[in-house]
């Protein structure tokens, strides 16, 4: 009994083996279906030959290359999804490096506020870069679905449309890589990014028009344009959902960890006994000044109770040593929402603690408070803009939630409302010298 001969779809050679004796392609190569597509996606990390050849063909004859691959002539070509993953990864690495170079230039002369704002968005940006390759892969089925709707009469199934759009995505990404120097020249402006969409869109439309030829040129153009619009809307919607998920995940993660004191914060707090005052950070020191401009974060009273109580006791000793009426945690190197304030509206002027405070209400009018001062700006005073009263909410050192109205802005009577506002500003990275008035 003789084995049946198999025809190689790549070179036309006949053989009884599982692989072609001439080109090496498997002889059981079939039309691409959903099952084979899943296998390709799960093997995107298996780098095969034909990378440079495929890239070349995607720009010299993209429709011809795609038709050959779909017809079974595949041995010379890189698998579409693996190709996308490679070129997108290259784009991410180069784009990330380029952005880092531009940021270092832009931040070299930036203000402390600019640096802080950039730091606040860095985590989100890095998350997007980390998942960008996978985001691109996830958008391919959306592009394919749009093309399948508009070009269904051309006879390609949905799995084949996924292959088509994977190759188009790879080619578009190569264009994006080539466009990176232009974006860098214009300092990554929004306009530069918008202009980069012109060659990418033109490339996609060209491939569609050349590949699908069962209609007139005008009809093909209209269909290609419609598919491009539908796919763009679908991708934007998907990216919005993914970005929202990344942001929410990041926020939830930070909520779980940011409310806990860090190891360095605990070491600073517990570095001495409760009778030892902290060193107060002076605004005249450049490093300390930048720290004082940081926006502080909340902390959990229950999860940090012992450390908070130790911090409070040392802050009280520090406040007494400095002879002040208020002191905030960032003034001693702890960027947390906590401060002490003297109750000038109560007998014996007790010192109270405000943890995670909020100003929930205040009047529209303001007053010019005389001779405001700060422990971090010694031997300096000035008039500052304040509200005559504030409604506040905070947790005290016993873990009780307090909500009250603080009034008073006169040094001859009580100015507890001003003290609270002054210390609250410290938690926002604001000093009284930012609010001077005549």
* Relative orientation angle of helices 158-185 and 34-42, to the nearest 10 degrees: 40
Q: Which of 143, 200, 202 is nearest to 177 (CA)?
A: 200
| 23-32 CB contacts, 8 Å cutoff, 24+ apart | 23/75, 24/75, 25/74, 25/75, 29/72, 29/74, 30/72, 31/70, 31/72, 31/157, 31/160, 32/70, 32/157, 32/159, 32/160, 32/163
Helices (H), 151-262: 158-185, 190-211, 217-258
Q: Is 423 a known active-site residue?
A: yes
For tokens 């980069």, the residue is 196
Candidates 67, 62, 61, 74; CA nearest to 27 is 74
- Helix, strand, coil shares of the chain, percent, nearest 5, are 55, 15, 30
353: enclosing H helix or E strand: strand 351-361
Name the packing angle between helices 158-185 and 190-211 (round to 10°): 150
| Active-site entry in 160, 265, 397, 423 | 423
* Residues with active-site annotation: 423
């Amino acid at each position: 009994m003789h084995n049946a001969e198999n025809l190689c779809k790549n070179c036309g050679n006949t053989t009884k083996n599982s692989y072609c004796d001439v080109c090496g392609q498997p002889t059981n190569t079939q039309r691409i279906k959903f099952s084979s597509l899943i296998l390709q996606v799960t093997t995107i990390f298996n780098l095969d030959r034909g990378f440079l050849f495929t890239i070349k063909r995607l720009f010299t004859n993209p429709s011809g290359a795609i038709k050959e691959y779909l017809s079974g002539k595949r041995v010379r070509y890189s698998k579409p999804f693996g190709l996308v993953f490679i070129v997108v990864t290259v784009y991410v690495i180069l784009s990330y490096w380029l952005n880092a170079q531009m940021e270092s230039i832009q931040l070299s002369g930036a203000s402390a506020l600019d640096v802080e704002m950039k730091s606040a968005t860095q985590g989100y940006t890095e998350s997007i870069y980390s998942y960008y390759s996978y985001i691109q892969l996830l958008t391919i089925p959306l592009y394919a679905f749009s093309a399948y709707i508009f070009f269904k009469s051309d006879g390609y199934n949905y799995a084949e449309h996924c292959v088509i759009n994977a190759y188009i995505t790879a080619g578009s990404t190569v264009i994006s890589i080539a466009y990176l120097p232009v974006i860098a020249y214009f300092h990554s402006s929004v306009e530069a990014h918008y202009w980069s969409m012109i060659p990418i869109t033109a490339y996609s439309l060209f491939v569609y028009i050349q590949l699908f030829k069962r209609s007139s040129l005008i009809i093909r153009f209209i269909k290609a344009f419609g598919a491009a619009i539908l796919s763009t809307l679908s991708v934007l919607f998907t990216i919005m959902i993914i970005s929202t998920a990344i942001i929410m995940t990041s926020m939830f993660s930070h909520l779980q960890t940011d409310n806990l004191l860090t190891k360095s914060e605990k070491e600073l707090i517990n570095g001495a006994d409760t009778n030892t005052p902290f060193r107060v950070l002076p605004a005249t020191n450049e490093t300390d000044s930048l720290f004082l401009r940081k926006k502080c974060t909340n902390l959990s009273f229950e999860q940090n109770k012992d450390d908070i109580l130790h911090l409070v006791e040392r802050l009280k000793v520090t406040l007494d040593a400095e002879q002040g009426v208020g002191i905030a945690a960032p003034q001693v190197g702890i960027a947390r929402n906590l401060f002490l304030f003297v109750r000038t509206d109560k007998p014996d002027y007790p010192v109270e603690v405000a943890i995670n405070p909020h100003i929930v209400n205040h009047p529209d009018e303001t007053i010019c408070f005389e001779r405001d001062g700060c422990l971090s700006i010694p031997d300096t005073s000035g008039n500052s803009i304040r509200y005559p009263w504030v409604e506040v909410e905070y947790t005290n050192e016993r873990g009780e939630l307090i909500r009250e109205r603080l009034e008073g802005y006169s040094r001859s009577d009580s100015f507890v409302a001003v003290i609270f506002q002054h210390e609250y500003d410290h938690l926002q990275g604001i000093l009284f010298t930012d609010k001077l008035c005549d």
